[in-house]
Amino acid sequence: MAIIETREITKVYKIGDIAVNALNSVSLLIEKGEFAAIMGPSGSGKSTFMNILGCLDKPTSGRYLLEGADISGLRKDDLSTIRNKNIGFVFQGFNLLPRTSAIENVELPMLYNSFSANERSQRAEAALKKVGLSGRENHHPNQLSGGQQQRVAIARALVNNASIILADEPTGNLDTKTSAEIMELFTKLNTESNITIILVTHEHDIAAYSRRIIKFLDGYVVSDETKT
């Protein structure tokens, strides 16, 4: 069974009287443990697609099955629960809470779940260790480098044992060397922990870390290549 399956997903935005088709019947299958890159120019619909995959947005029509379950008809709070349990987000701008220590940032998803304070700090420490940030638990985001901040964000995505990590241009704000380190971390999580990773990127050398490249243009999937 595919971990992600979309069937003819369409997303239409209405801007005034003009309807813009951001996605045109996109049907895709992503298996558990895949490492896929989504590429395409601005306005190609890749961000809209990622928002739908991340249950932050709902398709106008079509069906989205996450681990076999149809989430199209779910309510806002049910989507929150799915995001909390199944999906980890990594953003271009890191999106950490300012004036909040690294470990508290990592604990954030667990606050909206039934963990005791003890469990929370243990799991957050373990997640920080996994991304190589042991000893930085009490640093605030402004005391960390960009790469370290992105590692905190990855730890936050991991901490609830999400099966999918959605990364929206995770290296967009990082230099080449740090970008490579982050991509190696993703590769390690993918191969060692069998976490499904889907990332959006402009850059071919970043996309090269993945084993499958899906290209979007004007709301259509124009190519879908898997490395052999």
> Can residue 111 be called a binding residue for another protein (CB under 8 A)?
yes
CA–CA distance, 112 with 131 (Å, rounded to integer): 22
| Residue with smaller CB distance to another protein, 13 or 205 | 13
Looking at residues 72 to 91 of the shown chain, list those that interact with another protein (rule: CB under 8 A).
76-77, 80-81, 83-85, 89, 91
The answer to whether residue 100 forms part of the interface with another protein (CB under 8 A) is: yes
For residue 137, which phi and psi values (nearest 5 degrees)? -55, -40
Q: Is 114 in the site for another protein (CB under 8 A)?
A: yes
60 binding another protein? (CB under 8 A): no
Q: How far is the CB of 80 from another protein (least distance, A)?
A: 5
- Tally of residues, the chain: 228
Phi and psi at residue 59, to the nearest 5°: -70, 150
Residues 152-181 as x/- pattern, contact with another protein by CB under 8 A: ----x---x---------------------
Q: Which is nearer to another protein, 78 or 224 (CB)?
A: 78
List residues binding another protein (CB under 8 A).
51, 54, 56-57, 76-77, 80-81, 83-85, 89, 91, 95-97, 99-100, 108-109, 111-114, 117, 156, 160
